[in-house]
Structure 1
Amino acid sequence: MLRSAAAAVMATRRITQETFDAVVRENIEEFDMKESEALKEAIEQFESQGVDLSNIVKAVPKVSSEENTEDQTHEVLQALESIKTAVASSSASVLEDLRVFTQQCSLGFAQRYLAAQKEAYPVILACCQRAAGEKEALSVALAALSALTDGQPDLLDVEGREFLMGALTAHQTDAALSCLCIRVVRHCCVKHENNRQDLVKAGVLPLLTASITRHIHHPEVVKEACVTLRVMTFDDDVRVPFGHAHEHAKMIVLEHNGLKVIVEAAKAHPENAAVLSELCGTLSRLAVRNEFCQDIVDLGGLKFMITLLADSLDCPVSCRIRESFSIVSCEHKPISCCCDASVFQELVKQVLSALKAIAGNDDVKDAIVNAGGAELIVMAMNRHMSNAQVCEQGSAALCVIALRKPNNCKVIVECGGALAALQAMKTHPAEVNVQKQSCMLLRNLVARTRDFSQLILEMGAEALISQALAAHRDCGDVGRAALRDLGCQVELRELWTGKKGSLSR
């Protein structure tokens, strides 16, 4: 235990870029190594000491000018210096310098971090402010600001926030500029609760929903604004005791008609998997109240989610469900034909997550089952059994649909839901979330009726749950509860009774 703690402390050790570069230079000059060899040696040396190099540019500094061959620095800093020089002299080359800077920042977090350490933020923000009235210049400057702030939300200050709000307001009708402004907002809000709250107070939410409505046929704007709305509902900043995630979700729905905006946007992009994936993901974050779940159904959200799952399956059942729902004919081109496998699987995962979220409403549980949703979820799991996230979300969705609903449990078991969950446990033994969600589903299927216990046990449930218990500590409670409700012998540990001893010595 002590060794693990010491290793954890060592893993947090950091060095400066100057220290790293000095070691590389020493390897070249003192030990006569080639550049690639010197770089590799420096990396291995620091990593063996437990130093975190995630913020270090792992490259040999380049000569910045032919006149001064002694002056060596990294390319991102050369680009930053060129921007400063061009701005000071009002040179027309500033746009090209900004493009080079953006390209360098896009190479990785280390380049962005190094640039920020050398005061890049005020320089780039000044470029944005100077270019406010010129579309091309503003576009280039915003791209640079977006690249710099990616992963560095702490850079945003009051001046930057005021500029972003002003730019979003002034360029509402320009899809490209709106998209760039929104992307900067998103970068500045990920893992930064104060920025989220300040931007919400400044009025960013109506600007985001209005962007989706105004540019509904521009997929990039819709996707970017949708993701940014979702980020506003995150609670991912460990530096604050609690955030306003729930409050922001309610504001988006109640004050800015967010559910209708998102559902309408989904209808406008029936075959764009990337956009639909983000829209479903955002819907799942907004379903924070019982009535919101029902509102999503009433607005047609359940209908389009069932459509997406049905279109992902080329089989008679999916065609029957599409036709019975009066959605599209069987000749409709499946969305799975319009995108690559990874994008498609991400879409399926997000649809399942959204179904799980809205199934928090008991009436919606029944609506999903009546629409054939349970069958489609099971088929999606079977089709994408190799994808752990699809299996996890599929089991989670079925788990919520089955909760307190014996009739739904019957449908799930009859369409192969229990078997799919057990197959997911077999396929992904190392994925703790797959194991947990499958155990919870199996428990819910038998919690209010023991009719399916023997059938599920005959499928091999006891052995698989026991394996999950042995392999994953986090499966302890849900695994033992599943075994108990299946009628298996299980040891329920009583951790402390308050007897036979004292808390103090």
Structure 2
Amino acid sequence: MVEDLVREGPERVVDRMSKSLDDPKLQALCCQALINLSSNNTVVQGLIGQQLGGIHLVVRSIVQHLNEEKVQEKGIGVLCSLTLVPSNRSLIGSLHGEKLAMEAMKRFPESPGVAVESSTLMANVAFGSRGNKIWIGRNGGILAILKAMQDFPDHRTLQMRGCLALRNIAWGVEDNQAMVSSLGGVVLLYRAIENHVSDSSIIEQSSVALCNVVLSTENESSPGDVTILLSAMDLHRGNSIIQEHCVVLIDHMVGRQNVCQQEFLKAFGIKTIIEGMKVHSENRGVLLKASRLLKRLAGVPEFRNQIFDYGGIELLADILCLTLNGGSEIIH
């Protein structure tokens, strides 16, 4: 049925939806067809969202079928698929699509599908909009996302979208950063890394989200957090995003807590840092962050010995030459 609707095209699907608002099954099918039609196609997304009035129609369908799980999941899914177009994103925000998402999560707490789409929608409408970020934080969005992550710890897609949502919602809004921290979000973000350490998408989103939260809040690290980050770095050595943000987090921890220094020492963290620097020898972000960490630790004899043992001195000399030749900001 969905394939047949897709073949009809977006105009026909929107028309079918508008004429069958009382039929929840057909509404859900039409929403899935719109998701398929708009996937990775901003032209079609703009057509559905603006010219055809699809956003208003989908919102109306969601409101009319509040107790239909599939309509909620697929309807919110359509809104997610249309948010790549800025004008669509603004319209969805003005219609409080994020409020519909939060309410759907409360009505269907056992539905991972609703949680995935709702978390994604909040992530997308928060992107680039300080007003939407603040609204989501003040109206329970952060709590809803954290509850979903806690309830579905093994659901990879949900964990990734939840981390993405926290990343976007916390960025640049101090109240939201504090809220994520106070509601246990830091623990859940580390748990996402630990439980899904082989999934680079989850590690990327969670490590960036952690940077957005912990660098500006008073957070004491838990035992094992350093080891969790080092394991992720070892497993994803070729991923510069993971390398850079995990180094930043480790630098933050070892600079504030002696127990984290000891954990880092016992886990041979210097070796992991230096190996990552070698792989990303042309990535200034990774080199800058890692060099700062090595500089911080070089005053401690045990760390200084490891820096020598794993070739850190030669590596830092190479970076210095690169800096002098290229005018980089690496050395401070």
Question: Under a length normalisation based on structure 1, what TM-score does the superposition of the two structures give?
Answer: 0.54
**Residue 101 (structure 2) pairs with residue 262 (structure 1):** yes
Match of 1:451 in 2: 256
Match of 1:226 in 2: 76
The answer to whether the Cα contact below 8 Å between 2:5 and 2:13 also exists between their aligned partners in 1 is no
Pick from 163, 168, 172: which aligns with 1:357? Answer: 168
Task: Deviation per CA, 1:403-458: give whole Å up to 9, x if none.
Answer: 4x1x43x42x3454333211211233355543343234335x27xx9435981752
Change (3 A) 1:379 1:188: closer
How far is 1:383 from its partner?
A: 3.0
Looking at structure 2, the residues matched to 353 and 415 of structure 1 have their Cα atoms a distance apart, in angstroms, of 25
Pick from 361, 384, 392: which aligns with 2:196? Answer: 384
Change (3 A) 1:173 1:473: farther
Match of 2:87 in 1: 247
How far is 1:363 from its partner?
A: 1.4
Task: Deviation per CA, 1:14-49: give whole Å up to 9, x if none.
Answer: xxxxxxxxxxxxxxxxxxxxxxxxxxxxxxxxxxxx
Looking at structure 1, the residues matched to 291 and 238 of structure 2 have their Cα atoms a distance apart, in angstroms, of 23
Looking at structure 2, the residues matched to 181 and 267 of structure 1 have their Cα atoms a distance apart, in angstroms, of 24
The answer to whether the Cα contact below 8 Å between 1:440 and 1:478 also exists between their aligned partners in 2 is no
Looking at structure 2, the residues matched to 217 and 300 of structure 1 have their Cα atoms a distance apart, in angstroms, of 20
Looking at structure 1, the residues matched to 55 and 247 of structure 2 have their Cα atoms a distance apart, in angstroms, of 39
Looking at structure 2, the residues matched to 457 and 143 of structure 1 have their Cα atoms a distance apart, in angstroms, of 53
The answer to whether the Cα contact below 8 Å between 1:352 and 1:394 also exists between their aligned partners in 2 is yes
Pick from 390, 398, 406: which aligns with 2:210? Answer: 398
Count of residue pairs the alignment pairs up: 298
Pick from 480, 483, 492: which aligns with 2:290? Answer: 483
Change (3 A) 1:293 1:417: farther
Change (3 A) 1:478 1:206: same
Task: Deviation per CA, 1:71-98: give whole Å up to 9, x if none.
Answer: xxxxxxxxxxxxxxxxxxxxxxxxxxxx
The answer to whether the Cα contact below 8 Å between 2:98 and 2:118 also exists between their aligned partners in 1 is no
Looking at structure 1, the residues matched to 40 and 21 of structure 2 have their Cα atoms a distance apart, in angstroms, of 26
Match of 1:56 in 2: none
The answer to whether the Cα contact below 8 Å between 2:281 and 2:287 also exists between their aligned partners in 1 is no
Match of 2:275 in 1: 467
Q: Secondary structure at the match of 2:256?
A: coil
Pick from 183, 186, 206: which aligns with 2:56? Answer: 206
The answer to whether the Cα contact below 8 Å between 2:5 and 2:30 also exists between their aligned partners in 1 is no
The answer to whether the Cα contact below 8 Å between 1:223 and 1:275 also exists between their aligned partners in 2 is yes
Equivalent residue runs for 1:124-203 within 5 Å? 140=1, 143-146=3-6, 148=7, 160-201=9-50, 202-203=52-53
The answer to whether the Cα contact below 8 Å between 2:164 and 2:209 also exists between their aligned partners in 1 is yes
How far is 1:482 from its partner?
A: 1.5
Task: Deviation per CA, 1:174-229: give whole Å up to 9, x if none.
Answer: 11211222222222222222222222222111112222222233222222222221
1:215 maps to amino acid = H
Moved more, 461-470 or 195-204: 461-470
Change (3 A) 1:173 1:247: same
Match of 2:178 in 1: 366
Structure 1: segments with no counterpart, 5+ residues: 1-139, 149-155, 235-244, 312-334, 498-505
Match of 2:119 in 1: 280
Q: CA RMSD in A?
A: 2.7
Q: Secondary structure at the match of 1:486?
A: helix
Looking at structure 2, the residues matched to 183 and 194 of structure 1 have their Cα atoms a distance apart, in angstroms, of 18
The answer to whether the Cα contact below 8 Å between 2:211 and 2:249 also exists between their aligned partners in 1 is yes
Task: Deviation per CA, 1:350-390: give whole Å up to 9, x if none.
Answer: 21221111111221111111112112222332233343333
How far is 1:170 from its partner?
A: 1.0
Task: Deviation per CA, 1:240-284: give whole Å up to 9, x if none.
Answer: xxxxx3332121111x11111110011111011122112112211
Looking at structure 2, the residues matched to 267 and 372 of structure 1 have their Cα atoms a distance apart, in angstroms, of 19
1:297 maps to amino acid = G
The answer to whether the Cα contact below 8 Å between 2:167 and 2:210 also exists between their aligned partners in 1 is yes
Change (3 A) 1:362 1:246: farther
The answer to whether the Cα contact below 8 Å between 1:469 and 1:479 also exists between their aligned partners in 2 is yes
2:14 maps to amino acid = M
Change (3 A) 1:212 1:437: farther
Q: Secondary structure at the match of 1:198?
A: helix
Structure 2: segments with no counterpart, 5+ residues: 296-312, 328-332
Change (3 A) 1:402 1:429: same
Looking at structure 2, the residues matched to 363 and 306 of structure 1 have their Cα atoms a distance apart, in angstroms, of 16
Looking at structure 2, the residues matched to 469 and 212 of structure 1 have their Cα atoms a distance apart, in angstroms, of 49
1:210 maps to amino acid = R
Looking at structure 1, the residues matched to 96 and 268 of structure 2 have their Cα atoms a distance apart, in angstroms, of 48
How far is 1:291 from its partner?
A: 2.3
Moved more, 423-432 or 366-375: 423-432
Task: Deviation per CA, 1:298-323: give whole Å up to 9, x if none.
Answer: 22111222223333xxxxxxxxxxxx
Looking at structure 2, the residues matched to 296 and 415 of structure 1 have their Cα atoms a distance apart, in angstroms, of 31
The answer to whether the Cα contact below 8 Å between 1:368 and 1:374 also exists between their aligned partners in 2 is yes
Higher relative contact order (CA 8 A, sep 6+): 2
Identity of aligned residues (%): 20
Match of 2:247 in 1: 439
Match of 1:426 in 2: 234
Q: Secondary structure at the match of 2:21?
A: coil
Match of 1:375 in 2: 187
Match of 2:301 in 1: none
How far is 1:171 from its partner?
A: 1.1
The answer to whether the Cα contact below 8 Å between 1:378 and 1:416 also exists between their aligned partners in 2 is no
Match of 1:417 in 2: 225
Question: Under a length normalisation based on structure 2, what TM-score does the superposition of the two structures give?
Answer: 0.79
Looking at structure 2, the residues matched to 184 and 310 of structure 1 have their Cα atoms a distance apart, in angstroms, of 31
